[in-house]
Structure 1
Amino acid sequence: MLGVDLILNTMRKCVLLSLAACLLSFWAPAQSYFFPEGERFNPNIQSPEEFLGYPIGEFHTRYDRVHAYFQYLAEASPYARLEIIGYTHERRPQLVLYVSENTEESRLEDIRQRHLLLTRPNQAMPDLSSMPAILNLAFSVHGNEPSTTEAAILSAYWLVAAEGELAQRVRQEALVLIDPAINPDGRDRHSHWANMHRAFPPVADPLDREHNEVWPGGRSNHYWFDLNRDWLPLTQVELQHKMAWYHRWYPNVVGDFHEMGTNSTYFFEPTKPFSSENPVVPRKNYEEVTQRFVPYFAKNLDAIGSLYWTKEVFDNSYPGYGSTYPDIQGGLGLVFEQGSSRGHVQDSQRGPITFAFTIRNQFRTALATLEAGVEAREFMHRYLREFFQTAEQEAASSPTKAYVFGDPADASKNRLFLNLLLAHQIQVIENQSTINQEGQRFEAGKSWLVPTRQPQYRMVRSIFERVTEFADSVFYDASAWNMALAYDMPTAALRQNPGGTPLVEIPSPQLQQPDTRPAVGYLIAWEDYFAPKLLQRLQRAGVYVEASGASFTSETHLGERSFGPGTLLIPMGFQQLPLEQVEALVLREAQSLSQQVYAVSSGLSKQGIDLGSNQVTAIRQPKALMLVGAGVTSTEAGEIWHLLDTKLEMSLTKVDVERFGRVNLHQYNTLILASGDYSAIGEHGLTHLKDWLSRGGVLIAVKSANQWLSRAGITPLKNLEEVPMAAPADEVGFGNRRDYYGAQSIGGSMYATRLDLSHPLAYGYTRENLPVYRNSSIFFAPVADPFQNPVRYREQPLLAGYVSARNLAQIPKAMSVSVSKLGSGTVVHFIDNPNFRGTWFGTNRLFFNALYFGDRM
């Protein structure tokens, strides 16, 4: 009997395995499914299926296997060369595969140098007849849009191994640059999720766990940033590496491949005319260049019976997109969006959509991009030259001949801003004479000039211009991106360019640190952006540090100097560590962070408070916890994590909201709530939170977290009385309802506020004018205590971007930042996000001050 049972079980297993094999063959079709009919391949080059051990579409390919296959192609074929352009936060390599008829290093460098001549209008036009098109296929900037990287694998194989006429022509007439994944960290996070939950056969039900990633999902990178918003601010290493690489090549065409909702078909450009277009990009880009490519996309998708759409939505205005930035660099950026299977197969309104189906559509539009790019090769080269010629011509006719900028109190922020400008290849000149302009003083040696007449004129406009008039009132994303405002950088437009020598590298600060010698104490100004990082290092090392709550003037080793509120004092008479160790540590860490240390030999001040005043008190070292997980906006939580990690080097404990009941808050002195709803902490958690606050805790709440605090009865915040929305005009029909309601939202714009410089949240600021970023319609009235509304909007607040008249009337009545006292505790209410996308260096200091001085409010 045992022998019979064994035979029957074996037979059952064989039947099941055969059934599984049949199902797999249905969901993951053979290689011929993806490629044009009759395509032939070099038999000496392994296909993706042969190399990986499964058909494309059967699994989500791990990034290490993508890397291995690209490495294999580079070794197996003279047509391919692989470069690592950098590493992600999680140390995954960022890859670019170069594919052409000849990829010898010397040949590639010759191609690059000749191509760069097109971006230099003052140099002779090179011979275009033999210059290859530079075509960049960029995939998976969003990690959970997985069809893109699989299409990259197929594209690389086709380019290297296909023997058909088109493949040969592309290799001869183009240099193709393939990014298989701009976001490898997010890609692997999603791949692991999808593969881990893959069923055999796959489950198409949208409710299945495979199709619903847990928080934060794979869209974002390690720090939960959306990398497709980072091409302008360059806060993340992935885009910093990509930008350095981009300006080595200036591709003629960049294909930017994405996914969208499962019930959608396929989108390719053009985007919505006028309203979604960037104001600095020449009309020719939209009206002629893009239109040359459209028939190729349609032809390739028509050939396989795939439906598509154009023009209706999607945004090409914000310069931080991977499909917009190339448009401001003389190329053509093309966004592609494929309805996603979000797993291996998922039901949609048109029936099951398979992973393989989504991959095929992406691959076919990649082929279309290559075909069109080759056909338009000389046209695109001429357009690149024309783009930079017209940039200088437009600059010549502009009344603004230069921008002057510089913060006299914050050398580190100046260097950060200079680094951004140079990363975008913007020419900068050190200012050699003092300039008084627009009520501001820009001193020689502490300010810089950006001439407008330069090849990057359009990027100069993007970073410095304040735009408040638009063709439309509905925005997919931000309507303002002025980086000078984001940095709270004093700037002024000049009617003439004083000229000077272009800056090649950012100058190192000239510090005059005191000799190691006995001193009453050491002073460090709080105005510099990296003073908080120095404080964090000193406290972590065991140095006792105090801070001033008022201004004073002291005699220092560099002479008499005035110091503002927030100034750090290291009193040598109260240190637990040996004084020699403290002195050495302070000077070493200050030097490494470019912070000037001032030695004082007396606690008696020349003016203002003395160093032993009751207004000079110990700084509490923050021990911070942030709630994360379901209900919390992951990108905004990521901004806080990134800020504390990279700008403060401060350890941050991240706890899922659902685990809050296990947290003893009394082990922490600071709780951070990013935008979100925290109702999941329950009644017990709410009681614990209130008790912790009443005993002296500091709670920092951002945007919608304040709404939850108000609803939960923790804080006394009150909503402004809502202004009714005006009834639509009779001619506004049903078809326009989306635009009508969309115009009432605040997608992202910049506003002027007045800062109370005496408030602890304002320590380190020297100007009461502070730009802030708002991308919500959350309006809270000022708190009852008039001294706890430190950041208030100006009467005429709009600086840049779009806002409806209804919202603009509300903003001056509302608060940007308020403070509530609850027992011995403090709640700091950031109604506007001070850390937006890691770019708002101007308002980051508010957050730093909430961390270090929250108990002083």
Structure 2
Amino acid sequence: MKKLYVLIFSVLITFGVKAQTPLSYYLPQNLSYNPNIPKPEDVIGFNIGDQHVSHDQVVMYMKELARLSDRITLVEYAKSYENRKLLLLTITSPDNQKNIEQIKAQHVALSDPNQSANLTTANMPIVVWQGFSVHGNEPSGVNAAMVVAYYLAAAQGAEIDALLKNTVILFDPAINPDGIQRFSTWVNANKSTTLVTDANSREFSEPWPNSRTNHYWFDLNRDWLPLQHNESKGRLAAFHTWKPNILTDHHEQGTNATFFFQPGVPSRTNVLTPKINQELTAKIGEYHAKALDEIASLYFTKENYDDFYYGKGSTYPDINGAIGILFEQASSRGHAQESINGVLKFPFTVKNQVTTAFSTLKAAQGMRVELLDFQKSFYKNATNLAKADAVKGYIFGSADNKSVSYHLLDILKRHQIKVYQLAKNANVAGKTFEDKTAYVVPADQAQYSTIKAIFAKQTQFQDSLFYDISAWTFPLAFNIKYAELSSTTGLLGAELGEVKFPEGQLLGAKSNYAYIFEWNEFYAPKILNELLKQGLYAKVASKPFSIPVNGKIKQFEDGTIMIPVGGQPLLADELFTLITSLAKETGIDVLPVNTGITEGINLGSGNFKNIKQPKTLLVTGAGVNANDAGEVWHLLDQRFNMPPVLVEQADINSISLDKYNVIVMSDGRYNTINQSGIDEIKRFLRNGGTLIAMGDANRWTSANGLTNIKYKTVKSKDSTAFRNYDTQQEVARAQYIPGAIFNCRVDKTHPIAYGISTTEIPVFREGTGMFEKPSNPFAAPLTYTNKPLLAGYISPANENVLKGSAAIICSSYGRGQVVSFSDNPNFRAFWFGTSKLFMNAIFFGQTISGGN
């Protein structure tokens, strides 16, 4: 009878009858449910699987469960950029709820080697974090969350009682509210009453930028380590409040796939992940396999996906004494879609997620003490690993970029890493660190593995393939002075408590002549833009000069900003008040000067160039790399309060660009810009505009005569070598640069490099689009060194080609400039070092003379 019911249900869905998916389709049979707990359809008005839940419906239902069930408490742990609430439900027995703070404190003590020795895990509840749909257009997770939450709130009987007694479930039902809302609106709006399964249907083809990402088009599943977004910061704080033993991350993959659960590819496991972690992951996987076998669902494991990059929800737990589990369900991307495995129906995708959510909880019960003991030993072993490590800690920080130090400190503290003020001035590896502006992170602490994940550089790998990037060393990304320590003895000052953004100040009394500030601080563009917005005029030094400051001669480098007092729309007193306020807010120190006489160029020299306030247009739309474009949008809007105007590339064909002086074209294809749009961009450049092109956008600029960039090619030396047929994909992918860190030589005198204090700078790149160095030596302010690899993977052939190639090329066009970045300088919002170069292109592209 059961088989007949499933067959009838399948036929109804396939042939388009208005099927109603009963809740029993997802839930264990032969259980009773508390009638006082509403089913999802009682609150949202439809059965799960019949259409897609929106985020507001998820919030409404979860709040109702928390109101009516004594098993559930609910907190709001963050808000998205679009002000949607991110909820975390704590689900456990009513008795546990009464003692929840005591249970939490005891559980967290397992991660403290100083306390854990006295703890026994025999009767301790296990903590399981279940998270759903970090990618908004992977909806089976968030829809499954509705079913799982109902079960945990309403199911009756000895089995559920035992589960809730022995488990604290931290339930994150909708990780990406903005993406979820965007996707559900699209698919529900394009659904036919009689379901259409043709993959060409509009229902399955979201418009750009699609709903995978958050408001700024970021992939939140890459942000667990960088922590650049509201959603991630709130989630990590909740994670460390509890330190769960298992974390599940429910995703979707291509429509023609089946179901994946970890472990991933064994050879791609990060070396910081202990072997026992993968063994326990495989043991948990046996529970998933059994559960999926019972519903005849196809699955695979140890293929395609890996456990390498710790910025993902399924891998971050691996360096925090927990087991991270990735689930990847084949996606219907709508309500029912044709696939190589037959018509893939949305309710079936939801059922697989529900099934593995339940199998996770069964594994937690069966392995409870084993997983608790693993957590205890993981943190105890941190001390042993630290003692065996030749690197005893890390030192970083400098006086010339305090705001970047702040951002790194903020990340470290959010990861529960102890940081200390440097006790005394120190010289390490030929670098000088000052006690007031440098910090020390000792390796010997509970978060040893996370420290290594953030600071270490790896260049040797067992496997040359990566699901994500191969390197992310934070001090390199921040371009901050740092060094490894062979000893921390005598270097540890006071432990840092709360980290505060540095305040800038006016270094003297009011001036009636001019104010100057250096460009090395990251937020210098912010104060400059705020001044320009007030109608003030400003100038930038294109050569160095020096003046006495506090009785000593101080040199100011190229890129120093001057704000004259005379000729401004504000009176001297008003300008003084404004600059004082902005200096404090942005962390910039501003120096009043009372004379134009200096050593080097004088303040009235023609080598001080006028700066226009940037009026930036960001080209968006189909073909554009949404992640890269979103990173530009986020940088300008969130960091500098100077949001770009977002314009679809097709609209370039019909608008005037006279309102703008900067255009940004992120990586992507720009095929919808026709000759009219090309002519308008050329007119924009001839009139003195700046065009910033990144990645493959440079192929478009070259093809349309705006630049003359040539690309290097990698020649295979063994193209005729014998290869097994089944290795062709691996061989091809091994030649791709998966995301690694490289060293570049920088011309500090070039406007693109203003504020950079070193002659070399780390850059991030992925892919093989490498620029030939132009014949004009002044047109390439950034070039790869002869030994470029700093961290990550690159094939020997690719590295040989990359040597000496150009990372940035500046090309003149009329009175304008095209600034070409070979790769993305704003990667995932934490590449502060090269974002500085990007902001220089925004502000100083107009001052560049000459070019390729």
Task: Tell me the TM-score range normalised by the shorter chain.
Answer: over 0.9
Partner SS state of residue 575, structure 2: helix
| Corresponding position of 1:64 | 56
Cα distance change of structure 1 residues 637 and 725 upon mapping to structure 2, 3 Å threshold: farther
1:70 aligned partner, one-letter code: M
Q: Following TM superposition, by how much is the alpha carbon of 1:165 offset from its aligned partner in structure 2, in angstroms?
A: 3.6
| Corresponding position of 1:708 | 700
1:379-431 CA deviation, whole Å, 9 max, x = no partner? 11110011111111111111111111113311111111111111111111111
Asked if residue 478 in structure 1 is aligned to residue 469 in structure 2, the reply is yes
Aligned-partner Cα distance in 1 for 2:184–2:711:
43
Report if aligned partners of 1:783, 1:819 keep a CA contact under 8 Å in 2. Answer: no
Report if aligned partners of 1:137, 1:254 keep a CA contact under 8 Å in 2. Answer: yes
Report if aligned partners of 1:557, 1:598 keep a CA contact under 8 Å in 2. Answer: no
Aligned-partner Cα distance in 2 for 1:509–1:779:
38
TM-score for both structures, normalised by structure 2: 0.96
Q: Following TM superposition, by how much is the alpha carbon of 1:117 offset from its aligned partner in structure 2, in angstroms?
A: 0.7
Report if aligned partners of 2:503, 2:586 keep a CA contact under 8 Å in 1. Answer: no
| Corresponding position of 1:6 | none
Cα distance change of structure 1 residues 230 and 832 upon mapping to structure 2, 3 Å threshold: same
Asked if residue 253 in structure 1 is aligned to residue 242 in structure 2, the reply is no
Q: 1:489 aligns with which of 463, 480, 483?
A: 480
1:265-320 CA deviation, whole Å, 9 max, x = no partner? 11111111122x1110111111x211221121011111111111111110210010
Q: Following TM superposition, by how much is the alpha carbon of 1:560 offset from its aligned partner in structure 2, in angstroms?
A: 4.3
Partner SS state of residue 761, structure 1: helix
Cα distance change of structure 1 residues 97 and 512 upon mapping to structure 2, 3 Å threshold: closer
Partner SS state of residue 546, structure 1: strand
Q: 1:193 aligns with which of 186, 193, 197?
A: 186
| Corresponding position of 1:586 | 579
Report if aligned partners of 1:24, 1:58 keep a CA contact under 8 Å in 2. Answer: no
Q: Following TM superposition, by how much is the alpha carbon of 1:593 offset from its aligned partner in structure 2, in angstroms?
A: 1.6
| Corresponding position of 1:349 | 340
Cα distance change of structure 1 residues 268 and 508 upon mapping to structure 2, 3 Å threshold: closer
1:613 aligned partner, one-letter code: S
Cα distance change of structure 1 residues 477 and 624 upon mapping to structure 2, 3 Å threshold: same
| Corresponding position of 2:610 | 618
Q: Following TM superposition, by how much is the alpha carbon of 1:513 offset from its aligned partner in structure 2, in angstroms?
A: 2.4
Cα distance change of structure 1 residues 242 and 586 upon mapping to structure 2, 3 Å threshold: same
Gaps of 5+ in 1: 1-18
| Corresponding position of 1:754 | 745
Residue pairs, 1:460-479, within 5 angstroms: 460-479=451-470
| Corresponding position of 2:228 | 235
Q: 2:298 aligns with which of 307, 318, 342?
A: 307
Amino-acid identity (%): 38
Report if aligned partners of 2:825, 2:831 keep a CA contact under 8 Å in 1. Answer: yes
| Corresponding position of 1:649 | 641
Q: Following TM superposition, by how much is the alpha carbon of 1:167 offset from its aligned partner in structure 2, in angstroms?
A: 2.0
Residue pairs, 1:511-526, within 5 angstroms: 512-514=505-507, 517-526=510-519
Cα distance change of structure 1 residues 20 and 353 upon mapping to structure 2, 3 Å threshold: closer
Cα distance change of structure 1 residues 104 and 546 upon mapping to structure 2, 3 Å threshold: farther
Cα distance change of structure 1 residues 640 and 298 upon mapping to structure 2, 3 Å threshold: same
Aligned-partner Cα distance in 1 for 2:622–2:364:
44
Aligned-partner Cα distance in 2 for 1:855–1:665:
16
Q: Following TM superposition, by how much is the alpha carbon of 1:561 offset from its aligned partner in structure 2, in angstroms?
A: 2.9
Partner SS state of residue 156, structure 2: coil
1:408 aligned partner, one-letter code: A
1:381 aligned partner, one-letter code: L
Partner SS state of residue 320, structure 1: coil
| Corresponding position of 1:15 | none
Of 50-59 and 223-232, deviating more is: 50-59
Q: Following TM superposition, by how much is the alpha carbon of 1:657 offset from its aligned partner in structure 2, in angstroms?
A: 1.0
Aligned-partner Cα distance in 2 for 1:604–1:442:
33
2:434 aligned partner, one-letter code: E
Q: Following TM superposition, by how much is the alpha carbon of 1:185 offset from its aligned partner in structure 2, in angstroms?
A: 0.4
Asked if residue 534 in structure 1 is aligned to residue 518 in structure 2, the reply is no
Q: Following TM superposition, by how much is the alpha carbon of 1:26 offset from its aligned partner in structure 2, in angstroms?
A: 6.1
Q: Following TM superposition, by how much is the alpha carbon of 1:581 offset from its aligned partner in structure 2, in angstroms?
A: 1.5
| Corresponding position of 1:546 | 539
Aligned-partner Cα distance in 1 for 2:417–2:187:
42
Report if aligned partners of 2:136, 2:181 keep a CA contact under 8 Å in 1. Answer: yes
Partner SS state of residue 215, structure 1: coil
Of 571-580 and 468-477, deviating more is: 571-580
| Corresponding position of 1:136 | 129
Q: Following TM superposition, by how much is the alpha carbon of 1:511 offset from its aligned partner in structure 2, in angstroms?
A: 5.1
Q: Following TM superposition, by how much is the alpha carbon of 1:713 offset from its aligned partner in structure 2, in angstroms?
A: 2.4
Report if aligned partners of 1:468, 1:799 keep a CA contact under 8 Å in 2. Answer: yes
| Corresponding position of 2:6 | none
Aligned-partner Cα distance in 1 for 2:779–2:19:
61
Q: Following TM superposition, by how much is the alpha carbon of 1:712 offset from its aligned partner in structure 2, in angstroms?
A: 2.2
| Corresponding position of 1:152 | 145
| Corresponding position of 1:451 | 442
Aligned-partner Cα distance in 1 for 2:590–2:625:
39
Q: Following TM superposition, by how much is the alpha carbon of 1:562 offset from its aligned partner in structure 2, in angstroms?
A: 2.3
Report if aligned partners of 2:284, 2:360 keep a CA contact under 8 Å in 1. Answer: yes
Partner SS state of residue 501, structure 1: strand
Report if aligned partners of 2:221, 2:312 keep a CA contact under 8 Å in 1. Answer: yes
Residue pairs, 1:617-766, within 5 angstroms: 617-724=609-716, 726-727=718-719, 729-730=721-722, 732-766=723-757
Q: Following TM superposition, by how much is the alpha carbon of 1:514 offset from its aligned partner in structure 2, in angstroms?
A: 4.6
Gaps of 5+ in 2: 1-10
1:678-720 CA deviation, whole Å, 9 max, x = no partner? 1211112112212221221110000110011112222111122
1:496 aligned partner, one-letter code: S
Report if aligned partners of 1:118, 1:125 keep a CA contact under 8 Å in 2. Answer: no
Of 790-799 and 100-109, deviating more is: 100-109
Q: Following TM superposition, by how much is the alpha carbon of 1:108 offset from its aligned partner in structure 2, in angstroms?
A: 1.7
| Corresponding position of 2:422 | 431
Q: 2:21 aligns with which of 15, 23, 29?
A: 29
Report if aligned partners of 1:80, 1:103 keep a CA contact under 8 Å in 2. Answer: no
Report if aligned partners of 2:423, 2:494 keep a CA contact under 8 Å in 1. Answer: no
Residue pairs, 1:283-432, within 5 angstroms: 283-286=275-278, 288-432=279-423
Report if aligned partners of 1:391, 1:456 keep a CA contact under 8 Å in 2. Answer: yes
Cα distance change of structure 1 residues 804 and 516 upon mapping to structure 2, 3 Å threshold: same
Q: 1:599 aligns with which of 592, 597, 600?
A: 592
| Corresponding position of 1:268 | 261
Q: 1:854 aligns with which of 837, 845, 850?
A: 845
Partner SS state of residue 474, structure 1: coil
Partner SS state of residue 500, structure 1: strand
Partner SS state of residue 231, structure 2: helix
Q: Following TM superposition, by how much is the alpha carbon of 1:142 offset from its aligned partner in structure 2, in angstroms?
A: 0.3
Size of the alignment, in residue pairs?
835
Aligned-partner Cα distance in 2 for 1:565–1:213:
47
Q: 1:85 aligns with which of 60, 72, 77?
A: 77
Q: Following TM superposition, by how much is the alpha carbon of 1:541 offset from its aligned partner in structure 2, in angstroms?
A: 2.0
Q: Following TM superposition, by how much is the alpha carbon of 1:630 offset from its aligned partner in structure 2, in angstroms?
A: 0.4
Aligned-partner Cα distance in 1 for 2:95–2:78:
20
Report if aligned partners of 1:554, 1:600 keep a CA contact under 8 Å in 2. Answer: no
Partner SS state of residue 238, structure 2: helix
Aligned-partner Cα distance in 2 for 1:522–1:329:
49
| Corresponding position of 2:4 | none
| Corresponding position of 2:5 | none
1:444 aligned partner, one-letter code: D
Q: CA RMSD, aligned part only?
A: 1.7
Q: 1:820 aligns with which of 808, 811, 818?
A: 811
Partner SS state of residue 403, structure 1: strand
Aligned-partner Cα distance in 2 for 1:833–1:435:
35
Aligned-partner Cα distance in 2 for 1:27–1:223:
37
TM-score for both structures, normalised by structure 1: 0.95
Report if aligned partners of 1:486, 1:842 keep a CA contact under 8 Å in 2. Answer: yes
1:783-833 CA deviation, whole Å, 9 max, x = no partner? 222111100111000000000011011001321111001111100000021
Report if aligned partners of 2:713, 2:801 keep a CA contact under 8 Å in 1. Answer: no
Residue pairs, 1:500-511, within 5 angstroms: 500-506=493-499, 509=502
Q: Following TM superposition, by how much is the alpha carbon of 1:506 offset from its aligned partner in structure 2, in angstroms?
A: 2.3
Aligned-partner Cα distance in 2 for 1:178–1:476:
27
1:430-487 CA deviation, whole Å, 9 max, x = no partner? 1121221222111121211110111111111111111000010111110111111100
| Corresponding position of 1:14 | none
